[in-house]
């Protein structure tokens, strides 16, 4: 079946629309042929857009070859659907063709009873290697490493190692790699050799002569983000992985690093957006009920916190009764303080993620000084604007010079106070959470905005009450 498109953004939508049209018209076999012809990224993008019923029909008429490369990236629900429709035997065949780390990722998406059955049909050697990965937490270094890298004993001759390497590489027994790893008799990592360099070394020399100590190694039990940060900090294409005794286990390769960074960024983005619990699976495949249950805890929490703001406003009823137009500027001030807090929090989180800001007293003090200076400069720019807007609005409403000046002064005073407080809170909340061992990304924008609303409401009406009392 010939039906190809250019590699434009609209191609995914066009393929999706065509495959869905074929399914709806009962031409399932044609839909399967078209789906099988797609490149893996297109197949992935299409399959997550189909609903469950459409996927079930499609999977009955497809070989799933186009999904093999992206099987580990599919949401759990779709992997489970594939097993139900295609059966364990066919899924097992696909899994055994994958790199070991990806095979472990796919198995981790399956219920235990299915996972064990798939492992049973694997070769003994493959099953043992996959089981080594599965014993680690999915978000640990061990959970993302690949053991399919070339490893040789330090006393082995270069010529013998090259012969073994070439034959195993031709059989596809290695994952993507840039180094060969040299271990001692206890399988402890001695060093590594760049593949290009390795192939040109004198063949009669022992590998230990040329093995160089890697800049860093990482333990398998560490968080996967730690390995990704080491790769970025040291400009590495691979990070060697060892156990607590220093024995070599595998490597976190460049493609693993990229996957980890994308996943961690996604999780941090969700946390900063106010999700208390990570959202597993893709947005397109999650049901509205699951999304609502994921979103409502933080929304409900913030709703309750906002009741504090309402209580503060209610407690200053007498002040509002004296000068009701004050209420008109509260939303503007509250939004401003929330935006400032969210901005500062984002900058600090970014600095911490890149390793620019550490949890030392020196760095914390530098952050405080810098944010106070930044707030002061922003106030110098925003203050006159806020004064002019407040004065103009009140003058237009009351035509009273005295009232206009008083309200403008109150607004500027509240702006100054809330700016400083919101900036400091937004800056220090991520640092405080990190010091307490909590992921600083949970210092979400909605939370900081709510804190800014509370601070602004109190300072605004407190200042207003004080100034009205003396004027």
Exposed (0-12), middle (13-18) or buried (19+): which is 419, by Cβ within 10 Å?
buried
pTM, two decimals, is: 0.61
pLDDT at position 280 is 62
pLDDT at position 283 is 64
Cα(43)–Cα(60) distance, integer angstroms: 15
Provide the edge-to-edge strand list for the sheet that holds 218-219.
218-219, 238-242, 248-253
Please state the CATH superfamily assignment of the domain spanning residues 288-470 in this structure.
Answer: SLC41 divalent cation transporters, integral membrane domain (1.10.357.20)
What count of other Cβ atoms lies within 10 Å of the Cβ of residue 161? Answer: 23
Cα(133)–Cα(71) distance, integer angstroms: 17
What are phi and psi for residue 168, nearest 5 degrees? -70, -35
pLDDT at position 376 is 92
Domain-by-domain residue ranges, the chain?
Answer: 12-139, 151-272, 288-470
pLDDT at position 399 is 76
Residues 6+ apart with CB under 8 A from 89: 121
Torsion sign, CA atoms 244, 245, 249, 250: positive
Cα(181)–Cα(240) distance, integer angstroms: 9
Per-residue pLDDT of the chain (471 residues; tens, 9 = 90+): 444 444 444 588 888 888 989 999 999 999 888 988 888 888 888 888 888 899 889 988 888 777 888 888 888 888 888 888 888 778 888 887 788 888 888 888 887 777 887 777 777 777 777 888 888 888 888 888 888 899 999 999 999 999 999 998 888 788 888 999 999 999 999 999 999 889 888 888 899 999 999 999 999 999 888 888 888 888 888 999 999 888 999 998 888 887 777 776 666 666 666 565 666 666 666 677 776 777 777 777 767 777 777 787 788 878 777 777 888 888 888 888 888 888 888 888 778 776 778 878 888 888 889 989 998 999 999 999 989 998 998 888 887 888 888 888 888 988 888 888 888 888 888 888 788 777 676 656 677 777 778 888 888 888 888 777 654
Cα(448)–Cα(435) distance, integer angstroms: 18
What H or E segment, with its residue span, contains residue 178?
none
Beta strand 238-242 with 189-194 is unpaired
Exposed (0-12), middle (13-18) or buried (19+): which is 5, by Cβ within 10 Å?
middle
Please provide the CATH number assigned to the domain covering 151-272: 3.10.580.10
SS3 443: coil
Residues 6+ apart with CB under 8 A from 32: 58, 60, 61, 62, 63
SS (H, E, C) 395-420: HHHHCCHHHHHHHHHHHHHHHHHHHH
CATH architecture observed for domain 12-139 = Alpha Horseshoe (1.25)
pLDDT at position 214 is 92
pLDDT at position 106 is 83
Contact call for residues 323 and 464 (beta carbons, < 8 A): yes
């Amino acid at each position: 079946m010939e039906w190809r498109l250019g590699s434009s953004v609209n191609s995914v939508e066009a393929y999706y629309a065509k495959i869905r049209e074929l399914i709806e018209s009962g031409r399932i076999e044609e839909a399967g042929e078209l789906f099988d012809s797609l490149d893996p990224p297109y197949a992935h993008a299409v399959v997550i857009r189909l609903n469950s019923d459409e996927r079930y029909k499609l999977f009955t008429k497809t070989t799933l070859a186009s999904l093999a490369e992206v099987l580990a990236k599919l949401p759990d629900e779709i992997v489970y659907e594939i097993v139900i429709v295609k059966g364990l035997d066919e899924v097992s065949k696909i899994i055994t063709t994958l790199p070991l780390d990806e095979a472990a990722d796919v198995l981790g998406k399956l219920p235990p009873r299915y996972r064990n059955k798939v492992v049973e049909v694997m070769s003994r050697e493959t099953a043992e290697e996959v089981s080594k990965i599965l014993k680690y937490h999915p978000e640990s270094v061990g959970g993302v490493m690949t053991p399919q890298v070339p490893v040789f004993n330090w006393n082995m001759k270069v010529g013998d190692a090259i012969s073994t390497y070439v034959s195993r590489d031709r059989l596809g027994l290695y994952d993507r790699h840039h180094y060969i790893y040299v271990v001692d008799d206890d399988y402890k990592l001695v060093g590594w050799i760049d593949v290009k360099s390795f192939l040109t070394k004198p063949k009669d020399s022992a590998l230990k002569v040329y093995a160089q100590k890697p800049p860093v190694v990482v333990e398998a039990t560490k968080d996967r983000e730690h390995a990704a940060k080491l790769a970025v900090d040291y400009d590495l294409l691979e990070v060697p992985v060892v156990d607590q005794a220093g024995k070599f286990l595998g490597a976190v390769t460049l493609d693993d690093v990229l996957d980890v960074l994308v996943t961690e960024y996604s999780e941090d983005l969700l946390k900063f957006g106010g999700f208390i619990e990570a959202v597993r699976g893709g947005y397109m495949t999650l049901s509205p009920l699951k999304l609502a249950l994921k979103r409502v805890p933080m929304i409900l929490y913030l709703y309750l916190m906002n009741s504090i703001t309402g209580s503060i406003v209610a407690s200053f009823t007498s002040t509002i009764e004296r000068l009701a137009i004050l209420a008109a500027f509260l939303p503007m001030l509250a939004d401003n303080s929330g935006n400032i807090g969210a901005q500062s929090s984002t900058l600090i989180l970014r600095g911490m993620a890149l390793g620019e800001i550490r949890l030392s007293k020196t760095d914390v003090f530098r952050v405080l000084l810098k944010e106070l200076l930044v707030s002061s400069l922003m106030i110098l720019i925003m203050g006159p604007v806020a004064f002019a807007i407040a004065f103009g609005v009140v003058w237009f409403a009351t035509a009273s010079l005295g009232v206009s000046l008083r309200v403008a002064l109150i607004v500027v005073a509240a702006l100054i106070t809330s700016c400083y407080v919101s900036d400091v809170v937004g800056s220090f909340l991520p640092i405080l959470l990190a010091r307490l061992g909590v992921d600083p990304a949970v210092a979400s924008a909605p939370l900081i905005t709510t804190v800014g609303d509370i601070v602004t409401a109190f300072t605004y009406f407190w200042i207003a009450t004080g100034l009205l009392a003396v004027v």
